[in-house]
Amino acid sequence: MLSKKKIKEVLDILDVTYPDARPELNHTNSFEMLIATILSAQCTDVRVNMITETLFKVAKNPEEMYGLGYEKLSEIIKPCGFFNTKSNNILKTCKILIDEYDSKVPESKEDLVKLPGVGRKTANVVVSTCFGEPAIAVDTHVFRITNRIGIVREDTVEKTEDSLMKKIDRSMWTKAHLLFIFHGRRTCKARKPSCEICTVRDYCEYYKNVLNK
């Protein structure tokens, strides 16, 4: 596995490779980011952005979202898949925000993960993007990239997050998460990684051990 020094070098190279690395879910406040992230499970950011463009025009806050009710909400979010579960989770979450948080999004991960439809990944995205708290949200890309390169060697997203937090400086957590996502979307794709153009190929265990054996 890579040393902390090598991991830092990988991150520096990815930073140069993807200077535009940023959250790709469109939002204007923490409530919109929370809803967009719940919708993004098993769905692309591009599709979520198409849905939220319509959704946030009719529901900009927990009251308006809750007021849509199941029928209207599920009709709007249907294209993002799992609309039944997502609609129910969003409505329950909005009710809790209204009743317990004065219609605001809580700023702590501990409170966020108690909301229906909000797991560790979503909580990490919200606190890092909206509240400036360093966090590494491990999605399918971050899990795949960090295990392929040899930054970690873990079999679950939870263990990957814990391991990454030990190996990467806290100040770099949020940036690292974005860089791994961009690398996963643009170069190190799940089925066919583009190793021939990869800027961190010289560091990659998968490239050395699997592709060149």
Question: Residues with catalytic annotation?
Answer: 121, 139
What are the CA-CA distances from residue 190 to residues 22, 84, 101, 187 (Å)? 21, 28, 39, 9
Give the 3-state secondary structure of residue 36. helix
Q: Which is it for the CA torsion 155, 21, 128, 55, positive or negative? A: negative
The residue (of 57 and 192) whose beta carbon lies closer to ligand SF4 is 192
Closer CB to ligand SF4, 109 or 148, in the complex? 148
Burial environment of residue 73 by CB neighbours within 10 A (0 to 12, 13 to 18, 19 or more) = buried
**CB 21 to ligand SF4: min, Å:** 15
Taking the least distance from each CB to ligand SF4, the nearer of 112 and 204 is: 204
- Nearest approach, Cβ of residue 36 and ligand SF4 (Å): 27
Residue 115 or 204 with smaller CB distance to ligand SF4: 204
> In degrees rounded to 5, what are phi and psi of residue 31?
-65, -45
Binding site for ligand SF4 (CB under 6 A): 148-149, 187-188, 193-195, 198, 200-201, 204, 206-207
Dist. CA 126–CA 132, nearest whole Å? 9
Least distance CB 211 / ligand SF4 (angstroms): 7
CB of 156 to ligand SF4, least distance (A): 20
